[in-house]
Amino acid sequence: MDAEPGSDPQGWLASEKLDGVRALWDGARLRFRSGRLIAAPAWFLAALPTAPLDGELWAGRGRFDAASAAVRREQPQHSEWRALRYEVFDQPGTAGPFVERAHRLTALLQGAAPFLAAVPQQTLPDAGALQRRLDAVLRAGGEGLMLHRADALWLPGRQPALRKLKAVHDAEALVLAHEPGQGRHAGRLGALRVQLPDGRVLRIGTGFSDAQRDTPPPVGSVVTYSYRGRTASGLPRFASFLRVQDAL
């Protein structure tokens, strides 16, 4: 769920939105959100606590592709994993409101391995402070902020008490069809026709590399796209392709 610019941050904790690969640790195994095991090096797993963790395997701002490539390999490359950090933002299944879980998480990971850390959570007094924090993150090359209700209890699945605040929003859609290209793109992909979660159809014609136009995301796959605001009818404006959401 997206937060609107000018939102009041009272009652929320803010943290930077990290563009990494979601990873869940159950105390013994590291898994993708789908439940599939992540082939992490033994030295990486040995540094994790027995407590459950939820976070992002992150290679730094603007380096999602590097993180994604590293964690997908069946045989981990140690050099790639040494460039990753496990940035943790919650403890699945634990009691108490989010603000208490965040404090416990910080204490748990204090002094841990250099690649393991709790994502810093910040209270902000008003909408102006929230906007200044967002601007600072964007200037540094970040994507935006995450807002989490301080009093929210942990729940499985998507968190209704969690919101994204970004200059550019993103969302997911199901690929229905490929529209042929014209001119320079003749003979390859021109646009994707996709279905939104509410059933409406949207056309995405920008954001593709030449390689992606030659081999487009298959029909039936789920893609992530960016957009800026919405039309009067509620459709995303200026939709641009970002990436395929693999079934990890």
For residue 34, the SS3 value is coil
β-bridge pairing 30-31 and 21-25: antiparallel
3-state SS of the chain: helix, strand, coil percent to 5? Answer: 20, 30, 50
Unique residue bearing structure tokens 């082939």: 39
Alpha-carbon distances, residue 245 vs 44, 125, 196, 219 (angstroms): 25, 36, 14, 13
Phi then psi dihedrals of residue 243, to 5 deg: -170, 165
Burial of 18 (0-12, 13-18, 19+ CB in 10 A): buried
Q: What amino acid is encoded at 24 in this protein?
A: L
Residue count (the chain) = 248
Mark whether 164 is an active-site residue: no
Choosing from 3, 12, 15, 17, the catalytic residue is 17
Handedness of CA 170, 173, 175, 180 (dihedral sign): negative
Please enumerate in sequence order all residues whose Cβ is within 8 A of that of 54, keeping only pairs 6 or more positions apart, or say none.
22, 23, 24, 25, 88, 89, 90, 91, 92
| Catalytic machinery residues | 17
